[in-house]
Structure 1
Amino acid sequence: MIHDRVECRKYHTMAEPNPQAGDTGPPKGIPALKAHVIANKLDVALWGLRILTMLCTVGYVIPIFTNPTSAFYKALLANAATSALRLHQRIPPREIAFSREFLNRFFLEDSAHYLFYSLIFMNVAPNLLILAPVFLFAMLHAASYSLAILDTLGQNSMWVARLMISLVEFQSRNILRAVALAEIVLFPLIVFMALFGYSGLLTPFMYYYFLMWRYASRRNPYTRNTFRELRELTVRTAERPSMPAPIRSALLSGVQLVCNMAPPVEVQQ
């Protein structure tokens, strides 16, 4: 799942059905939308699953029409389906082989990370922070593809929706930074949940591997960059002259512990 933003940009330059002689441009409207859906079934399915992820998350926060617990797990299932379908696009079935090389390639894919993410949290107590990364990713990618959907209806259709999509895309960097921060903050929360019986005792260990994969991601550096920014902030805070020695020592020890848990340098490149 990241699911990088660049993949969605291609939809804006997709070729539409060839215009007939005398036409001033490709056809627009419902017929064009139907043709687009038929020609891009997988991409439209991804878009629909991301919309479903967002709706289930909203249903968890505002439980008016659904049970919040049910909405929580449905959001995770929709995210898992999105990740699996995206993996199908990235790694076609003919390339699947149960080998060490294939597994290495598999876990380099951001979609594999978030498929694993959904599976981790299928047996934990619902928590809004768990849904934050999947909701933000779904919003970012759904917004990008929504422009392709709107373009088939006409360049001037639904200008309010276009404005909202533009706002989302304008904030894309901040959204990805928020996703990375949520991924990091989740780790101590999951440790707390495991200690007090809100999740399985193995959940923190499984989440550690997810976080390690996100840290070493080649396509999405935001988790790695956020770790670095947090480390620098913590070190600056610890080195303030007014900082008591015990707190300074605890902060620096925490930084050293996290650095020791990070993947090797060669994995990051």
Structure 2
Amino acid sequence: MADTSGESRTNSAPQTGWFAVKQELSQDKIKAAQCAIRLITILFTFVYLLPIFGNPYDAYYKVLLSCTATNILRLHQRVPRISFTAEFMRNLFIEDSFHYIIYTCIFQMTAPVTMVIVPVFLFALLHSASYSLTLLDRLGQNSWWGARLLISLVEFQSRSILRLCALCEILILPLTVLLIFTGRTGLFTPIIYYQFLQLRLSSRRNQFTRQVFIEITNTISSIAMKPTLPVILRKILGGFVEMMLRMTPVHQQ
């Protein structure tokens, strides 16, 4: 009787190579499209920061536009069926992808601000790295080791990247107030952004904005309680702490 165990092991082993990559891309076209758009987001971010190959002004708004496209696809995955019900609206407003559709819409109407595209770039970098590693695995375990090293560095720093995104989301609120005085944004931008930040603080899937916000609140509160601090500064910081506590979800305070 012929020994077919070696043949069985060969048949059960996962396929690798460009055909396997093509299969992976065709199995989930939405995920593949998201990765492609995220790579475009990264490209336009570099064009904006290093204006050698194009117009940085146009690149800035293309970063926001590509972010919108990515999150529309992601929202389609999370909430595939549209219905005009209260439950649908509740589900819509708790989705992180919907939050960032609001985010990009806010800043499509303002002058370019570098900090605005920092979280967009970092999210694109983090999520595209994860999917790119999957494609490299399909290509072969020993393929493109340089790209694997860079992706590993990104994934190793994923927690720090998410915390930096959260910090930017928080700092942009006072920044929008300052931008009013420079004429780079309108009066309603801080008001709308305040609503966006409250959505981020209530996010179910991303707790980093809430954690960083609470840490900042506690730090300011500690500074405000120092006896050596002038009374005026203590009152100003106390007012900030009260406002931040009102924004923090009750169960997290």
TM over 0.5: yes
Alpha-carbon distance in 1 for matches of 2:236, 2:29 = 53
Q: Does 1:50 align with 2:50?
A: no
**What residue is the counterpart of 1:123 in the other structure?**
109
Paired with 1:22 and 1:157, the residues of 2 have a C-alpha distance of: 20
2:13 partner SS? coil
CA–CA distance in 1 between the matches of 2:151 and 2:128? 9
Corresponding position: 1:245 with 2:231? yes
Residue correspondence of structure 1 range 30-69 to structure 2 within 5 A: 30-69=18-57
Matched with 1:164 is 150
Partner secondary structure for residue 200 of structure 1: coil
Q: Which moved more, 1:32-41 or 1:110-119?
A: 32-41
Asked if 1:231 is matched to 2:217, the reply is yes
Matched, 1:144 2:130: yes
- Letter matched to residue 14 of structure 2: P
Q: Name the amino acid aligned to 1:265.
A: V
Contact 2:201 2:249 in 1 (8 A): no
Consecutive aligned runs of 4 or more in structure 1 exceeding 3 Å deviation? 19-24
User: Which is greater in Rg?
Assistant: 2
Q: TM-score, normalised by structure 1?
A: 0.87
Give the aligned residue type for 2:133: L
Number of aligned residues = 247
> CA 1:20 to 1:201, structure 2 compared with 1: closer, same or farther past 3 Å?
farther
- The residue aligned with 1:202 is 188
Query: 1:265: which partner in 2?
Result: 250
- Distance, in Å, in 2 between the alignment partners of 1:202 and 1:20 is 66
Name the CA distance, whole Å, in 1 between partners of 2:69 and 2:144: 29
Q: Which residue does 1:84 correspond to in 2?
A: 72
Cα separation, 1, equivalents of 2:36 and 2:92: 24
Listed one character per residue, the Cα deviations across residues 195-247 of structure 1 (whole Å, up to 9, x for unaligned) are 33211221111111110100111111111111110011111122223322221
Q: Which amino acid aligns with 2:178?
A: F
1-side partners of 2:213 and 2:19: how far apart? 48
Opposite residue 88 of structure 1, the aligned amino acid is H
Work out whether residues 56 and 72 of structure 1, in 8 Å CA contact, stay in contact via their aligned partners in 2.
Answer: yes
What letter corresponds to residue 76 of structure 2 in structure 1?
Answer: H
Contact 1:195 1:201 in 2 (8 A): no
The SS at the match of 2:206 is coil
200-209 or 241-250, larger mean C-alpha shift: 241-250
2: CA distance between counterparts of 1:22 and 1:152?
A: 16
Q: 1:24 to 1:98 in 2, by over 3 A?
A: closer
Counterpart selection for 2:13 from 15, 21, 25 = 25
Does the CA-based 8 Å contact 1:108-1:213 persist in structure 2? yes
Q: CA deviation at 1:255?
A: 0.8
Say if 1:245 and 1:22 are closer, same or farther in 2 by CA, change over 3 A: closer
Indicate whether 1:72 and 2:57 are aligned: no
Query: 1:112 and 1:20, CA in 2 relative to 1: closer, same or farther beyond 3 A?
Result: farther
Unaligned 5+ runs, structure 1: 1-18
Distance 1:43 1:60 in 2: 26
Q: Which has the higher contact order (CA 8 A, sep 6+)?
A: 1
Root-mean-square deviation (CA, aligned residues, Å) is 1.8
1:194 Cα deviation (Å)?
A: 2.4
Aligned to 1:213: 199
Match of 2:164 in 1: 178
TM-score (norm 2): 0.92
